[in-house]
Amino acid sequence: MPIKSFSNKLNAILDDQQDIITIGTGFGGSYGPAEGPLWWHEDDSLIFSDIHSSKRMSWRQGSEPTVVAENTHQANGLTRDLEGRLLICEQAKKRLVRQESDGSVTVIASNFQGKPFNRTNDVVVTTYGSIYFTDPWNRRNMLTESDLQVAGVYRVSRDLGTLTLLVSDFVHPNGLAFSPDEKLLYVNDSRRGIIRSFEVTGAGILNMASDNIFCDLNGPGSGVPDGMKVDSLGNVYCGGSGGLWIIDPSGEPLGIIEHGESATTNVGFGGANWDLLFFTTETTVGYVKLKIKGTQVPI
């Protein structure tokens, strides 16, 4: 079966005998894969980025994915703020933006200390409205003095008035997600093949003394840690060697969804009961059904 179990704990999360449902294929290319799956609850649809084609796609049950936005500046990670507005990491423009209800765009962050970001990647919002995002290097060996010299993890305050560099020692920071109580922030390092965890202070800053390797996702199969989500019980879902890993809150790998693609690029929860686990790969988008609820995005 396409779901490999390491522990009987996996039975409480999903049926490992189920088939993986593919909802679209043929995405991606040299500039980037399918990415950023985000459930839009108001119309029961999934939206996601096709980075290579610089398009945003939408899918509903029983239909094929359709284009809902073009010229998205190679948009990557997507999420929503507390008001339900779409937040977008625009790789090509090296910025994080917000799409307003009238279709206009508000730039949330485009530089740090006057230097443009490298390649904004993924984004998450807390229940307090703070925005956290990653900015990995694009081509480190081509950096000049005018470029940022760090691959960073950043926080933007809810009023957008304060931008803070939280961590600067990642090789390639990528996906990020909070524990259900938001006391831990998980950030993966794609190049090292690991997920790191940090305690979050009351001010939303990271306690660097708590820096810990939560899980090592290296192995003989293709794929690295990329986009990441945490369900309502604290289980972590992240791409890694061989497919999409499911990890319990203690860091124990429970199983791998072996979808057969070269890499899992991101994941997201959706469906009427938030119990569908969507995933994107280099070329496809698919899902499996969970027995528990994922974490909802603001609606």
User: Domain spans of the chain?
Assistant: 3-289
Cβ neighbour number for residue 57 with a 10 Å cutoff: 23
User: Which CATH superfamily does the domain covering 3-289 fall into?
Assistant: TolB, C-terminal domain (2.120.10.30)
Closest C-alpha among 14, 54, 33 to residue 262: 33
Cβ neighbour number for residue 84 with a 10 Å cutoff: 13
140 pLDDT higher than 70: no
Predicted pLDDT of residue 141: 52
Per-residue pLDDT reduced to its tens digit, 148-168: 888 999 999 999 999 999 999
Are 293 and 232 in contact by the 8 Å Cβ rule? The answer is yes
Confidence (pTM): 0.96
The mean pLDDT value of the chain amounts to 94
Residue 15 CA to its chain's centroid (Å): 24
Report how far apart, in Å, the C-alpha atoms of 4 and of each of 16, 216, 237, 243 are. 7, 17, 14, 10
69 pLDDT higher than 70: yes
Per-residue pLDDT reduced to its tens digit, 206-240: 999 999 999 999 999 999 999 999 999 999 999 99
Per-residue pLDDT reduced to its tens digit, 240-285: 999 999 999 999 999 999 999 999 999 999 999 999 999 999 999 9
Q: How far apart are CA 191 and CA 150, in angstroms?
A: 15
